[in-house]
Amino acid sequence: MNQPEINLQAVNLHYASVAFKERSLKSLLSRPFGKSGAREIKDVHALKNITLEIKGGERVGLLGHNGAGKSTFLKTVAGLYPVSSGQVNVRGQVRSLFDLSLGFEPDATGRENILYRGLLLGLTPRFMREKQAEIVEFADLREFIDYPIKTYSAGMQVRLAFAISTAVGGDILLLDEVIGAGDANFMGKARQRIAELIERAEILLLASHDFGALNSLCQRGLVFHRGEIVFDGSIPKAVVEYKKVNNIP
């Protein structure tokens, strides 16, 4: 069996400017007639010429201020964003823990959404039916599992999404910050499950501003700045470089 691996060669990713333009009627009417009222918005070069190799057994922390490219990088590895140029080769089963609300159908019940979200994660209906009881118990939703998702509180939705997304591990685990998943009781269970997933994963990519978590979980650090990787080395040195790049004492 081949070892899991992530390999990016000269990868560039652009966001189209149209996604950022204000299109509301109120905005248009508030502008003086005959004037644009704003500077032209250009396409965003979100990832710039990223060349990188991550092999099985590596625990890699991603550092950078908000908007530096960490989350975009994770979603590119997960296959959610098509690149503008370059090549992305990922070998192994990927499990990602971000965008937990993605894939819920508000009018369907929690039980039905277990199946829907499982399909989005690439899991079979049979597998999801086998895991259903475990997911319901972990999310601690009791009779609410047969209520429509639109009746759930935000915390209930996150608990269900977390329980589904972590029902099975993967060779490559992608984490974007620490997940807030409800009350202290549930957070304890969530942290334990994440620890188990990390232990089983061959490759971990963790984007975080928590230096303690990065130091305890990762050995290698990548510092992102304006869409580029400006440092690749040990976590302690990566933290120093991150502070230097962002003028943090």
If you classify domain 5-92+207-245 with CATH, what class do you get?
A: alpha beta
CB atoms within 10 A of CB 128: 20
- Domain locations in the chain? 5-92+207-245, 110-201
Going 195 to 199 to 205 to 211, the CA torsion angle's sign is positive
DSSP state of 190: H
For 120, phi and psi rounded to 5 degrees? Answer: -65, -30
* CA gap 235, 53 in Å, rounded: 17
* CA gap 174, 77 in Å, rounded: 9
How would DSSP label each residue in 124-147? -HHHHHHHHHHHHHHHT-GGGGGS
Structure token pair of residue 80: 């959610």
Burial status of residue 117 (CB atoms within 10 A of its CB: 0-12, 13-18, 19 or more): buried
Nearest to 101 by CA among 146, 29, 154: 154
Spell out the per-residue pLDDT of the chain, length 249, in tens. 589 999 999 999 998 765 545 555 555 555 565 555 555 656 789 999 999 999 999 999 999 999 999 999 999 999 989 999 999 999 999 988 876 766 689 999 999 999 998 888 788 999 999 999 999 999 999 899 999 999 999 888 888 988 998 888 889 999 987 565 556 778 888 888 888 999 999 999 999 999 998 999 999 999 999 999 999 999 999 999 999 999 998
Q: Residues 45-71, buried b or exposed e (16+ Cβ, 10 A)?
A: bbbbebebebebebbbbbbbeeebbbb
- Decide: 105 and 91 in contact? Cβ < 8 Å: no
